Structure 1
Amino acid sequence: MKALVCILLLLETFVFVVQQQVDGGLNENEISQQISSEDRRQNPPQTDTLRAEASTDSQQYCNLGIPDIHAALRELTASITEQKGNIRELTATVTEQKENIRALETQLREQQTFILEELKKKNDEISNVTLSQVEELRKENRDREIAFSAGLMESGSGYVGPFTTEITITYRNVFTNIGNAYNPVTGIFTAPLKGAYMFRVTVYGHGGTGSSASIYKNGKHMVVSFNYQAQDRVNSSNGVVLILEAGDVVYVRLGTNTRIADSENNHNTFSGFLLFPLREQELCRM
């Protein structure tokens, strides 16, 4: 505030001197007297004291201001240096992070390659398993394709029987033998797998002796087809569903003291086929 008063006083004096010179000029004494008079008019008797204080304050201000500027510059320089250090650290951190990112990208590509290779292997394994299963199912289905049918005589006509004991009939004229489970030489059907099987026998003969044929399973009598009359032709038929284990045998036996007759018309037949396979537990329930 005191410095401002001093500046204003100097400006007022300067303006006054200039004005006097324009009006006609003043000598040095007049100027000095005018300045002294103006000083006394503008300032009370304590003007000299104020001027001294203003000069002292201005010097103190200057003395104080310059060190403050240098201190501020030093602080600013130190701050800039610190910021540069921080920037260098940040740059190093960014560089390190970039290296980490590149390493992660490389690792990710390796993992992707590994995963793709593993997926391809799994896919190949699944494909192989699927193909193996398909082939196994095909084989299983082929194994399940079991059916046969056969007539008594391959050609001509004639009689079989009578005999004093039962005999196994061999049906030699094979119509169908899918799975080759029936043997036309022995007349025996051998089950290739566990399951439910349907069997049927037809009987034809001439009157007077009777005609009889029975279905056997593993030596045990199951069902019989029988007819008798004194004269003319006789015929009958019968069928049965049997649960067989793999290796069980089924065949037909001619009854004691009976006979059957056949011709190219194939009146006497023995047939059978697999209805469906059975698992072990299904057989146990039965």
Structure 2
Amino acid sequence: MQLIQIFLFTLLCVCEGEDVDFMKPTMNVYTEILKLQAVVEGLTEQLNAVKSELTEQKSLVHNLKQQIVESPKVAFTASMTSTVNSHRGPFSSETNLIFDKVLTNIGDAYSGTTGIFTAPVNGVYYFRYSGNAFTSHDMGLSIFKGSSRFVSSYEYNSGEQNDNASNGAVMQLEAGEQVHMRLWIRSWVFVDYRYNYSTFTGFLLYTI
């Protein structure tokens, strides 16, 4: 900017001292310089806007990385323990189903002793179960959120050799809320000692 001002001052002094025909057709140098100055100022403004946007994007990326690092890792899968092929049930009343063979328990939110998952943080979680049973009895299974039945599956004694059922659900939980499975009255579920046909699974999708 100072160089432009010095140039303009020198040019005006020269022009006042003598008549100089710099070029034809006549060009107003001062006007052209003002145009260039306006262009430079416009580009500078755009550059500053881009820098500001880049700073905001960097801040956003940093915050997302922090959320990923700080977000708890929660996931489990459990089956049922047995030394031989057997079954759980039938019972005369609806019974909490304990998946005591814990296969995965990242974050230790699931208890293989009680069969209860306790949400460690406010968030959205996904749960799924699978059940296998012989056809001698019906098989009814439900996921409970606290004391409320959330989703269920029911397999009637169809006469086939094996019955299978599964279901899943997305739940919004507050820290401390619990989720567990129940076996319906007068039904049963197969427990194998090797293949883990009947399972209970859950994991945190994201915190809220």
- Scaled by the length of structure 1, what TM-score is found? 0.48
- Aligned residue runs from structure 1 range 14-25, under 5 A: none
- Are 2:144 and 1:216 equivalent residues in the alignment? yes
Number of residue pairs matched?
Answer: 144
Higher relative contact order (CA 8 A, sep 6+): 2
2:86 maps to a residue whose letter is: G
In structure 2, the partner of 1:255 is 184
Structure 1 residue 140: Cα displacement: 2.2
**CA 1:247–1:269 in structure 2 vs 1: closer, same or farther (change >3 Å)?**
same
**CA 1:243–1:138 in structure 2 vs 1: closer, same or farther (change >3 Å)?**
closer
Distance in 1 between residues matched to 2:191 and 2:148, nearest whole Å = 26
Structure 1 residue 171: Cα displacement: 0.5
Distance in 2 between residues matched to 1:208 and 1:230, nearest whole Å = 8
Deviation per CA, 1:52-106: give whole Å up to 9, x if none. Answer: xxxxxxxxxxxxxxxxxxxxxxxxxxxxxxxxxxxxxxxxxxxxxxxxxxxxxxx
1:188 maps to a residue whose letter is: I
1:167 maps to a residue whose letter is: T
- Are 2:201 and 1:271 equivalent residues in the alignment? yes
In structure 1, the partner of 2:106 is 178
The equivalent position to 1:227 in structure 2, one of 155, 162, 171, is 155
2:120 maps to a residue whose letter is: P
The equivalent position to 1:198 in structure 2, one of 126, 140, 143, is 126
Structure 1 residue 138: Cα displacement: 7.5
SS for the counterpart of 1:223 is strand
C-alpha RMSD over aligned residues:
2.1
CA contact (8 A) 1:202 1:238 kept: yes
Larger Rg: 1
Structure 1 residue 265: Cα displacement: 1.0
SS for the counterpart of 1:182 is coil
In structure 1, the partner of 2:59 is none
Distance in 2 between residues matched to 1:154 and 1:146, nearest whole Å = 26
Distance in 2 between residues matched to 1:179 and 1:139, nearest whole Å = 14
In structure 2, the partner of 1:146 is 74
Structure 1 residue 155: Cα displacement: 4.0
- Aligned residue runs from structure 1 range 82-97, under 5 A: none
CA contact (8 A) 1:197 1:241 kept: yes
- Aligned residue runs from structure 1 range 150-169, under 5 A: 150-153=78-81, 155-169=83-97
- Scaled by the length of structure 2, what TM-score is found? 0.65
2:129 maps to a residue whose letter is: V
Instruction: Flag the structure with higher helix content.
Output: 1
Distance in 2 between residues matched to 1:200 and 1:223, nearest whole Å = 10
Structure 1 residue 175: Cα displacement: 1.0
CA contact (8 A) 2:82 2:191 kept: no
CA contact (8 A) 1:200 1:237 kept: yes
1:273 maps to a residue whose letter is: F
Structure 1 residue 206: Cα displacement: 0.5
In structure 2, the partner of 1:236 is 165
SS for the counterpart of 1:273 is strand
CA contact (8 A) 1:202 1:225 kept: no
Distance in 1 between residues matched to 2:197 and 2:70, nearest whole Å = 34
Unmatched segments (≥5 aa) in structure 2: 1-62
SS for the counterpart of 2:176 is coil
SS for the counterpart of 1:202 is strand
SS for the counterpart of 2:70 is helix
- Are 2:169 and 1:246 equivalent residues in the alignment? no
Distance in 1 between residues matched to 2:183 and 2:107, nearest whole Å = 26
User: Identity of counterpart residues, as a percentage?
Assistant: 36
CA contact (8 A) 2:122 2:174 kept: yes
